[in-house]
Every structure is written in structure tokens, then in C-alpha cells.
Structure 1
Amino acid sequence: MAEDFDVKMESKVYYPDPSIKETVRMGDYEAVYNEFIQDPQAYWEKVANELKWMQKWDKVMEWDHPYARWFVNSKLNITQNCLDRHVHNGKKNKVAIIWVGDGGEERVFTYRQLYREVMRCANGLKSMGVKKGDAVCIYMPLVPEQIILTLACARIGAIHSIVFAGFGTQALNSRIKDSNAKIVVTADATIRRGKRVELKAIVEEAVVNAPSVEKIVVLRRMTPPMELYSEMEVDYHEMLSDIPECGPEVMDAEDPLFILYTSGTTGPAKGIVHTCGGYMVGAYYSTRNVFDLRDNDVFWCTADPGWITGHSYIIYGPLLNGGTVLITESTPDYPDAGVWWSIIDEFDVTIFYTAPTAIRMFMRMGADWPNKYDLGSLRLLGSVGEPLNPEAFEWYYHVIGKERCPIVDTWWQTETGMHMITTMAGQPMKPGFIGKSLPGVVADVVDKNGVPVPAGTGGFLVIKEPWPSMMRTVHNNDERYRQYWTTIGKYYTAGDLAVKDDDGYIMILGRSDDVIIVAGHNIGSAEVESALVSNAAVAEAAVIGKPHPLKGEILKAFVILRVGYTPSEKLKSELIYHVRMSLGPIAMPSEIDFVDSLPKTRSGKIMRRVLRAKELGMDPGDVSTLED
């Protein structure tokens, strides 16, 4: 049982400069959270009133467990808030998007230019017969056209389904069929580490046995341009209309905005459905307040729009706030390990939001690379994707932030649509702890019966009340949606194990399906992994349970070493002893394998079930979200 966990709770506390607390929007966290708790619906109504609506709501929220309706009977179009209100309110010449290619090429779009391109694209889609409620599958590299197409779909009420361009034929085919996509939009290729990676060929195979697809739109980037088959394929630029205006489709707040597929531990990928009104409010609100986004910021989120992080914190959140977004097709280690730091230096990036996996990779490469560049423009750092272990926090804080930038570690999910738990800028930071509930959210740690557990005791992470950007269903599988709200009482069950300290800060211990029972003791894989990574020799680690006739399970660790360390039996013994001294003898790995890489999703989460399946000779299940 998760509540039996003994959790190592010691953590440093970093207190930010008092001036930060005085200048950020939510510097007085307690006062803001108390305002929310006193009247949650009034709190969210105040946020929603900061945005443009075609018709206001009759009621902020209706809750019929497990179904919610937010901003009931209101009408809107999210693109009016992403584009029109900025173009018409003095920001038309402000930079909206900065794009940096794999080879260093640059493209810039002001809000006026972005508006015009979205209108032309929207009219082009309409000319192909795309209408409100139709699904459009977007399978593209991270180029401005991907964002333009996403907003064009929202403009005309089409449901966009963005699929990460690293997925293969089978994964793409299953998503096209489940969403019943009418149009698939792709590019001839993407560029990765200076090499051309074909995309259209994957689409050609993926649309076989996908009868809903009527046309394939192709962005031809390469020279000479590839041949298109006129029976079904259309050039992206030829699709664009010359008409620079396209009126926004009137959308109900509960109309679907997009479907985004995410992989579970078993079964096919789940199509998470988000709706227009609540998602808009959540993305706007969390971007504005968690990142304290300001008019002069250059915001760089290193994710891809193929993931929820890219949806909320590349496209919708920053543009809803009239921000400047930097995107890049480049990888963090090509042409060298300084490329990302050079981008921050060159474009005066102020907010940098990346994954712990990337941070640990940079740790392996050493501080010399970032120290070559001027990172003085940075004022806030963020982390997303999986728990930010204390060692990575320390490196991020000292080497990249130079001990002056707050770190906002964030916990949330595809299903939640927005940040749920974080340490707000200006609040004390505790390495290893995510933080507290974002005002507007009621998160807690409970036992299997839904009873809150004492501080320092492990339990299950739940969200106790609905929030605007919550998913509305799982596409074609509403029963799967209901399971989120019925597994533990009437709470939303996140599937994560967590612990609270005496101050209410929450630490994520790992997925509940990553609990390992050794001799009757429950051990969270994430805690053992964090202990391993705290050793100077270890860059990354993953821990699984293996069946054992006496103990039930034993721990097996897969370890990536830092540069300068060599695998040896002596080092294995040292690491086992290190874990013993850190967590106690019950948490010691019985086996350690030194490896060069670990199976991960594109968002940076280690897929331990794949390691477990390989170790036990079992079927790993759905691996469509694997990075490689």
C-alpha cells in the first residue's frame, strides 16, 4: 500500500530575492489561494472576464460527477483571443513567433503577419470542404506552419489532432482512424541533426486503410520539390487562399477544440478531448501566472506541439497572452552542445521551460558549454515532463540560473490541460518537491480510500475539485474517462504516488504502477532512481521490479554513467552501497546494468514498463510514444 512508504523528506530550501515576490503577479500565494477557496466559481469567472467572448455564460460551472460543463452556454472563438484582440489593440507589430531552423535559419512573424497567414490557411481549409466538427490531423515538423494550421483549424471550428512527427506509420494510422480525420497535413521532410528525415512517405503508408482521409496537404520545404499526386495530394502554399480575412466560427464553450493522444500503461493510445472555453481559460491563466509572462518576455518552451506541453505553452497559452514565442527545429546537441545556450544568448530569451531529461543531459556535458554564453537575459526557469531530481535542480539553479532565477517545477498531465502543482515564482523552492496546488486547483495526497495521509507519508495524488481545462472525455472510450474519477472516491486520480511535507509541498514519487514490493515493503522507483543519480558517476537511472521466489520482487537498476566514468563491478558495488546509505538496505538494487540509453517518451518520461517487459520476455504493449 502506498501509505506504507517511508519517504526521505530532507531538502534544502532556497529563498528567492524578496524583490521577486514583490514584483510577480502571485507573490502572495496564500492570499490568492484563499481568495480561490472562498469562492471558486467567482475566482474563475474573474479570470474568464479578462478574455473576449462572443456571448457570456449563464453559469460558470455545472458539475454532475464525473462530468463538468464550464462557462455554460457561452460562445467564443479561441483565435479571437490569440490573434484579433492583439492585432486590434496595439500589438499588431509585436513579434509573435521566432523560428530557428536546424541549420540556424531564422523566420519571424509579427501578430499582424501571423493573423494574415492563419486567415489564408483557414480559408484554404474551407475551400477543401473542411467545416466545423471535422477532424484535421497535423503531422509536421516544428515549423511556423504547424502553429498556423493549428490556429486555422480553431478559426473554422475544425478539431485538430496534432501527431508528433517522430511517430511511425502504425501510430499515425491508429490516430488518423480513431479521430476520423478528413485531412492530413504533413511536410515532405524534417531536418534533424543536419539530416533529412522523410515524413510524407510515412503518411502515404499511414493513410492506407484510413477511409476518412480525403486529402493530404504537403508543405514542400526541400529542393527540388517532390512530385505530388494530384488525385489526393495538395501543395500547402497552393492551398492558401488570397483572401486575408476569415470570420471566426461561433463555438460553444463545450465544443471540442482538439484531440490529443497519449499512451497509457496498457491498451491503445487514449484520445484526450479538450473543449474550447475551459481549455482557453486554463491555458491563458496558467501561462500568465506560473511564468509571470510580461510584454517584453521571450518565452522558449523546448517541447513540441505534438505534446500537451506544446499545445498549452507553445501555441495557446503564450499567444492568448500576447507573448513572443521562440521555437526551433534544432536538437540540444547539434552541431554542438552549446546550441541551445547560444539561442538564449542570441535572442535574449527570458523564460526557459524544458524537461529534466534535457537538464541531466546537459549535466553530463558539463558546465563549460553554457558558461561560454551570456545567459543574463534569463529571469525564470521551468521544468516539465517528470520529477526534477534534487541534483538536476541544483545544476539548473546554479549553472543556468546563476542563483538568481526562480525555478518553477510543474506537475500536470495531458488530461489536465494546464499546470496543477508548482512552486510559484517568489515562493521558497525545495529541490525534489514540485510545490503546492496552483490557485484554482485542489490537489491532495490520500490513501486508497480517499482519506488524506499525514505529512511525510506516501499516498495517491488526487485532484478533489473540477477545473476549467480538465479533459471532457476519452475519444470513443467514455468508460476510460470515468475511471479517472471513480478509482478513488469521487476524486480525479492522477495515477501518481506522492507525499506532502509539513509545509504542504508535494513531492512526486513515481507512477502508481511503478511501485515495487520487496519483502513486503513498497518502494517507489523514482526515489531509488533519485538516490542513484545523486552519485557523481550517474547521469540517469531507471529502476524496475523483478520477480523473486523469496522476496516477491527485487530491484534492478539501469544506469547511464556520466562522461569520464567506466562500467565496472567495483562501481556497481559503490552504487549499491550509495543507495543503502541514502535510503536504507531495503531499497538496494540487487542488479545493475550499465546502459547507453533508456526508453523514453518524447516528453522525457522513462517508460519503465518497456524495461520490465524486455527483462521478463514479455510484450511491452503500446510503444508508439517512445522517443526512439
Structure 2
Amino acid sequence: MDNAGSDGRRFDEPSHADGVGGEAVIEPLAAFRERAVTSDRGVYERFEADWPECWEAAADLLDWERPYETILNDDDPPFYEWFAGGELNAAANCVDRHLDDRRNQLAIRWFGKRGERRSYTYLDLYREVNALAAGLRELGVEEDDVVTLYMPMIPELPVAMLACARIGAPHNVVFAGLSAEALSTRLDAADSEYLITCDGYYRREDAFNQKSKADNARLRMDGDLDATVVVDRLGDALDVPLGEDEHEYESLVDAHDGETVEPVARDATDLLFVMYTSGTTGRPKGVEHATGGYLAHVSWTTRNVLDVRPNDTYWCAADIGWITGHSYGVYGPLSVGTTTVLYEGSPDYPDRDRVWDLIERNAVSVFYTSPTAIRSFMKWGAEYPERHDLSSIRLLGTVGESITPKAWRWYREHVGGGEAPVVDTWWQTETGAIALATLPGVTPMKPGKVGPPLPGIDARVVDEDGERADPGTPGYLTIASPWPGMLRGLREGDERYLREYWVDAEDGWRYRTGDGAAVDEDGYVTILGRVDDVINVRARRFNTAELEASIVGTDGVTEAAVVGDDGGRIVAYVTTRGDVDPGADLRTTIADRVAQSVGDLARPDRIVFTPELPKTRSGKIMRRLLGDIARGEEFGDVSALRNPEVVGEIESAVRKE
């Protein structure tokens, strides 16, 4: 393993008191360090000297039905296996084992869009998870059957995840905002014959029929569903009749109230869940995560990176439909026995101080959100957080994309009281858990830099030839050795798994993250963005090929390129046939088509009609240039383009928007 900086220094030993080039370096406060879960500066050295055995510290955070026989099986790289031979159950680790000490402690605090509140103690959670697990078995769900979950941020979603885990049925959570077409694609791809959804959900004041999308998805499927379970979210607000092989969630749970289902002992290498994420070909990838390595990595990072303890009230603001909500909204906090906050609404509804009101009322001690949200908070103004007592906050986290130094400082000053550490984290659906971040009780912070690789993670920034990039020189972020939370494979098979992620280098297999990055002389990494055609907007990852294919499918459209701007919005550049009027009607048609085929969140915020798209002489669309134009940034020399004259026309079109 290699967790040292480019010149051999340890990551916890900055070379300059004020940072490289005079940049700010902020040490953890003594008061925080004294109470931090991890405050030992020797943790990096120990993990490097004892790799991979160092990860036993993560496995020891879990309860095992059968001890594992080996920490890492690397006989068939890059098909690595963590904690092989061991058996455990994820639901038992997140619920059952806490009953002796914390049965009456709150496990989940939920807040709905219309002011509803529900709380689950660990005992409440245990009872409902068991009842649903028994109900699913009655419906025919068996071990290794994939159950798809298509719900908004309601408590029944984590309950369903844990009920599936309890009986050894992998879950496949599909974000509630995705379309019927996207759901049907994921149902078929996952070979899923069971669906848990809800009647609908609220957006602002309006009730939306989620069940109708599920019904449309069912009609589009190649296969059939054996059973569908429907949660009553809207009550009398929407009449949603049930059809054949469809069951009310509440009735199913009530019928099995008080029953106990013995947790199924799963091999550490068995599938816990599959999650679909963007692929470079436009086809979503079914990322598979194994039970033992994933849960160990998530538990360790929840404790050591986010500094979460059982007596905390912790809030990860990510939707459970995405990996951050899986890892740090459900499995991470519940595995360490803390109280996790779930919020169904948007941060500005009904007021722009909604987030700060919830933090104050619930004495939230650790808050984890995205730079996109932080930029919105900044735009709305510091007066909103300043209206509230946020002194309960001990640590702030950020995830999803790079955060600017300005946003980092605003977050710490106006939300963290100028003292709370800000842990900037980098990781992916595929990594399963945090891979790069500072350890808040150990490592100094550098605003705008995600930090060094975590202990035990061999992340490197390399050039085109796979050699280490010089400090400050942009390169490609790779991981040179396996890690516990890593994906175990893709649903689509080994060939795509190898093609999408792995390079067989001279010194061993390397995982390609798809992100550009630069590393400084202290080993701190700055993420520069995607090097493939995936964009991050609204803290979500969208594949440009999938969005562009949808746009080009619109009658009259000949070509499209999609980028994200600095406000977290989707900008689509579109060319049309000469006989087509590129007006408001076409804009509406394009936006509606994207919403239908991908989901409402993917609806372009701006559509810019242009006679051509800027291309290299080899014909590749210059999305980086289009992104610069969308963000109003300087883009430098365009003489290498095949059609440089179009750049001025595109700029003019953008300014008119």
C-alpha cells in the first residue's frame, strides 16, 4: 500500500504550516480532537504497514454468525473477495444487536413534506422489519430473489431494505423521481419479480401518482412481477386502486405483527443490493455490493470519518434512492446504533430555513450534505441559518462533487459556528463508501481539497501512461489496490465489469474512477470532474449519452450535447433540421421527452439551440468547452476545433437565454 504523499511524507504531516503556496491549512481544534473517535496520528502508518490485515478493524465493528477465514482473497484479481468464509446478516447488524442496550433509543426520526412526523425506536424498527420480512416470505420472496423498491423518502423504504436483507433477498432501490421507462429497465435488468412502491408523494402542495408510474413500468417490462406491495402515503388525497397480485403494505405488516423472522446468515461475499448508476455507453450499470466488505467499510467510515456515535442525532440529507442515502442514511448510522434523520421535503419548503429549523429542533450533531445544496444555502443568504441555534452541530460533511473554498468557508462559518470540522469526502456508487477524506480528529483540512486517501486506500493520480502525476499536474484518479466496500461486480457480467473499471498495469490491477484529479505536495487531492461523459447535477449523476439519446429522439432534432453549469443545472445544446422551428414548443417537447424517458430531475433547465456543436477535428464534441460557456468561464484557444466559428454563435445564444 502507498498512502504517502508524492515525496514520501505521511498525509498527516503537512510540509508547510500554511500549506503549499500559502493556501489555508486548518488544524482540528483541540477540543474536537480530544473527543474524536479517531485522534491517533499513527493510524495511517499502521494501516499501511499491516495491509490488508488492517481492515480487520472494520470487520470487528460487526457481529458475525461465522468468523471469516481470510480478510482478502485476491486469487483472481480484479474479482476480489473480502472476509471470505464469514457469515453475517446486515439487518441483524443494524437492528437486532442494538436491542439489549438501545431498544428504546430512537433509530429513525422522519419528517414528511406536509409536516408529518414519525419516530421509530430500535425496538419499533425491529418489529416492523420482522413483520414485513414475514409478509414478503408469504408472498413468495426467497433468499437471493431481487426485490425492487420504488419509493420517496418515507420510513417504509429503509424498513423494506432491512426486511429484504433479513431474509437474504437483495434489494434494488430505484429513485422515486425516475420515470416508468427507467423503472422498467431496472426491473428487467435486475431480474426482479417483486416490487414495493407507494400510491404517491407530494411535490410542494400537489399529490403525484407514483403507482401509475409503477403500473406503466409493469406494462413495459419484458418479464412479469409476481407481487407488488403498495404503501399508502397519500391517504384520501388520491384514490389508487390495487390490481391483481398487489397488496397493501399496512395490511401485510399488520397480518404479521408480532412475528419474528430469524435473520438469514449470508456469506460475506453474497449480494446485499444492486444499484443502477450511469454508464459510459448510456446503458445504466447494475453495481453489485457484497454484504461483508460493504457493511464493514461503511461502518468504519461512519465512525472514523463522520465521527458518528450512538448518542448522536445524525442527518445525511441524501435521498436513499442514491448510494449516499444507502451508505450514510441507512446502513452506516444504523450499524453504529445512532439516530438517523430522514426528511422527505425540499430544503426551501415551506421556508428557506427548513433545514436549520430541523437541525435546531432535533439537536442534530453531524450534518452531511452536498455542495449543490450548500451553494443554494449561500444564495439564499446567511440570515436563514443565523435565525436558529445550530450549536448542536459538532461536524459537517460534504459529498457529491467538488466544493469550492468559498463554499467550504461559508458552510463552516455560518452552519458550523466557525469551529466544526468540515469533512469533504470523495467516493462513488462503485466504491460503496468513503475513499478520500480527512480524518477530522487527525488530519488538517484544506478548503476546496477533498484530502488524502483514507488509511488503507491506495489512491493515486496518474498520467496517460499510468505513472504518478507530478504535484499540481492534472491526471486520472485511480485506486491501485482493493478495498472492502468495493463493488463485487456488475449485474451485466464480468466482461463489462472489466471494461468499465479495470486496467491491468505492470504493478497490478488498477481501478479507474473516471474522475480527473490533481494532488499537491502533501498528498491532498483536488477532484477536477469527470473525464468520461457523466455529469453531476443536483447531487445526482446523469449519463450524458442517456440524456442526449432522449433529446435526439425528438422529431426534428439532429444532435445534442448535455453539460452541467455552476448552479447544478442541466444545460442542453441542441441542433435541429433546417425545416424545424427551434422555438418554445420544441423546448417543451424536448424537456417533456427527457422527463418521460429518464425522470423529472433530468429535465433540462436550459435548452440552447445552435446551428452546430463545437467539435475536434476527429469529430468529438467538446463538452468541456460547452460547460465553460454555460458557466460563463473563459475557455481559451479554440483554433484546434474543426468549426471554431460556431463558438461565438453559441455564446450569443447562451446570453439570450
For normalisation by structure 2, the TM-score amounts to 0.79
- Distance verdict in 2 for CA 1:214–1:494, change over 3 Å: same
SS in structure 2 at match of 1:452: coil
- Listed as ranges, the matches of 1:70-81 within 5 Å are 70-81=82-93
Equivalent residue letter for 1:435: G
Partner of 1:455: 471
1:432 to 448, 463, 470: 448
1:134, CA displacement in angstroms? 0.4
Could you tell me how far 1:22 is from its partner in structure 2?
2.9
Aligned equivalent of 1:37, options 34, 39, 48: 48
Within a 5 Å distance, the mapping from 1:2-401 to structure 2 comes to: 11-29=23-41, 31-63=42-74, 64-88=76-100, 90-208=101-219, 209-224=221-236, 226-240=239-253, 241-401=256-416
State the match for 1:603 in structure 2.
none
Residue identity matched to 2:62: L
Q: Is the 8 A contact 2:201 2:234 kept in 1?
A: no
Judge which range, 460-469 or 475-484, deviates more. Answer: 475-484
Contact conserved, 2:146 with 2:191, CA < 8 A, in 1? Answer: yes
- Cα deviation per residue 1:358-414 (whole Å; 9 max; x = unaligned)? 111111111111111111111111111111122211211211112111001110000
Deviation at 1:458, TM superposition (A): 1.3
Counterparts of 1:383 and 1:352, CA distance in 2: 9
Match of 1:518 in 2: none
1:72–1:239 distance in 2 versus 1, CA, 3 Å? same
Gap change, CA 1:93 and 1:260, over 3 Å in 2:
same
Task: Summarize the Cα distance change of 1:127–1:471 in structure 2 as closer, same or farther, 3 Å threshold.
Answer: same
Distance apart, 1:594 and its partner CA = 9.1
Aligned partner of residue 397 in structure 1, secondary structure: helix
Cα distance in 1, alignment partners of residues 349 and 229 from structure 2: 30
Is the contact made by 1:96 and 1:109 (CA closer than 8 Å) also made in structure 2? yes
Amino acid aligned to 2:423:
V
Corresponding residue to 1:491 among 488, 506, 510: 510
Residues 335-377 of structure 1, C-alpha deviations (whole Å, 9 max, x = no match): 1211111111111111111111111111111111111111111
- Aligned residues between the structures: 551
* Distance verdict in 2 for CA 1:243–1:182, change over 3 Å: farther
Q: Which residue among 475, 497, 503 is the counterpart of 2:522?
A: 503
Is the contact between residue 52 and residue 456 of structure 2 (CA under 8 Å) also seen in structure 1? no
Larger CA deviation: 73-82 vs 90-99: 73-82
Q: Secondary structure at the match of 1:312?
A: helix
**Could you report, residue by residue, the CA deviation over 1:438-477 in whole angstroms, capped at 9, with x for unpaired residues?**
1121111112222112211111101111111110111023
CA contact (8 A) 1:182 1:212 kept: yes
Report runs of 4+ in structure 1 exceeding 6 Å deviation: 538-545, 548-552, 558-561, 593-596
User: Aligned equivalents of 1:377 and 1:341: distance in 2?
Assistant: 11
2:615 is aligned with 1:547: yes
Alpha carbons 2:201, 2:210 under 8 Å: kept: yes
Question: Quick one: structure 1 residues 488 and 495, their matched pair in 2 at CA, closer, same or farther if it must change by over 3 Å?
Answer: farther
Give, as a single letter, the amino acid of the residue that structure 1 aligns with 2:81. Answer: R
* Contact 1:363-1:539 within 8 A present in 2 as well: no
Q: Deviations over 1:299-357 (max 9, x none)?
A: 10111111110110011000000010000111011112111111111111111111111
2:296 touches 2:485 (CA, 8 Å); kept in 1?
Answer: yes
- Larger mean CA deviation between 550-559 and 479-488 belongs to 550-559
Give distance in 1, aligned partners of 2:202 and 2:572. Answer: 34
Amino acid at match of 2:403: L
CA distance in 1, matches of 2:629, 2:376: 13
Judge conservation of contact 1:68–1:472 (CA < 8 Å) in 2.
yes
**Using the alignment, how far apart are the partners of 1:488 and 1:398 within structure 2?**
45
Q: Deviations over 1:117-144 (max 9, x none)?
A: 0000000000001010101000011111
- Write the mapping of 1:478-627 to structure 2, written as runs, cut at 5 A: 478-487=494-503, 489=505, 490-513=509-532, 546-547=614-615, 555-557=625-627, 576=634, 592=651
Measure how far apart 1:559 and its partner are: 7.5
Query: In the alignment, is the contact (CA less than 8 A) between 1:252 and 1:277 conserved in 2?
Result: yes
SS of 1:547 mapped into structure 2? coil
1:416 aligns with 2:431: yes
Preserved contact between residue 199 and residue 240 of structure 2 (Cα < 8 Å): no
CA apart distance, 1:193: 1.6
Q: Secondary structure at the match of 1:109?
A: strand
**Alpha-carbon contact 1:139-1:163 (below 8 Å) kept:** yes
C-alpha contact 2:197 2:211 (8 A) present in aligned 1 = yes
Q: Please list the CA deviations of residues 507-527 of structure 1 after superposition, one character each: whole Å capped at 9, or x if unmatched.
A: 001111369xxxxxxxxxxxx
Structure 2: distance between partners of 1:542 and 1:392: 22
Instruction: Give the letter for the 2:625 counterpart.
Output: L
Q: Secondary structure at the match of 1:204?
A: helix
Aligned-partner Cα distance in 2 for 1:488–1:404: 44
Distance 1:409 1:594 in 2: 36
Secondary structure of the residue aligned to 1:314 is helix
The residue that corresponds to 1:605 in the other structure is none
Instruction: Decide which moves more: 206-215 or 184-193.
Output: 206-215
Structure 2 gap segments, 5+ residues each: 1-19, 535-564, 574-612, 641-646
Q: Greater CA deviation, 212-221 or 282-291?
A: 212-221
Structure 1 residue 14: Cα displacement: 2.2
CA distance 1:539–1:442, change in 2 (3 Å): closer
Contact 1:543 1:556 in 2 (8 A): no
Tell me the secondary structure at the aligned position of residue 231 of structure 1: coil
Calculate percent identity across the aligned residue pairs. 40
Q: Any conservation in 1 of the 2:129–2:163 contact (CA below 8 Å)?
A: yes
- How far apart, in 2, do the equivalents of 1:133 and 1:369 lie? 47
* Matching residue of 2:487: 471
TM-score relative to the length of structure 1: 0.82
Give the gaps of 5 or more residues in structure 1: 1-7, 516-531, 562-571, 599-628
Distance in 2 between residues matched to 1:322 and 1:87, nearest whole Å: 10
Taking the aligned partners of 1:454 and 1:492, their CA distance within structure 2 comes to 20
**1: CA distance, partners of 2:224 / 2:569:** 43
Task: Report if aligned partners of 1:411, 1:422 keep a CA contact under 8 Å in 2.
Answer: yes
Q: Secondary structure, in 3 states, of the residue corresponding to 1:482?
A: helix
CA distance in structure 2 between the aligned counterparts of 1:456 and 1:311, rounded to whole angstroms: 34
Please give the alpha-carbon distance, in whole angstroms, between the structure 2 residues aligned to 1:165 and 1:141. Answer: 5
Preserved CA contact (<8 Å) 1:463 1:491: yes
